[in-house]
Structure 1
């Protein structure tokens, strides 16, 4: 799940054919530009989710490891 969160923005941005157009425009901004700016926000959210998942995994490993040694 962590890898998917981090990999999705790369796929979205590298698949240029999917957003190399001007329509639909949003507030006069061509699709090409607002799609990329939207992915900046989406990437931030996905990176934050990946980090929280990684933290949760690390806490679970520390708890398991601490329980075995005690």
Structure 2
């Protein structure tokens, strides 16, 4: 469930355009509309990495619980 949330969050944030379709506040002269989207690039990367690490940990736990056989 946490893995799915990590992967879905960036899509929801980017598809909900009404939440960031404005110019203020600006950041170093860049309107909010643009810097908000640019901010999601590293956030999406971090969430994807977290989801992958959680998935790997889950796979190792399943492998250990099943005596080496992954179902």
TM over 0.5: yes
1:64 equivalent in alignment to 2:65: yes
Q: If each structure's helix is expressed as a fraction of its own residues, which one has the higher value?
A: 1
Larger radius of gyration: 1
Q: TM-score, normalised by structure 2?
A: 0.92
List 4+ stretches of structure 1 deviating above 6 A: none
Q: TM-score, normalised by structure 1?
A: 0.93
Q: Which structure 1 residue ranges, 5 or more long, are not aligned? A: none
CA distance in 2, matches of 1:44, 1:35: 15
Q: Which structure 2 residue ranges, 5 or more long, are not aligned? A: none
Aligned positions, number: 67
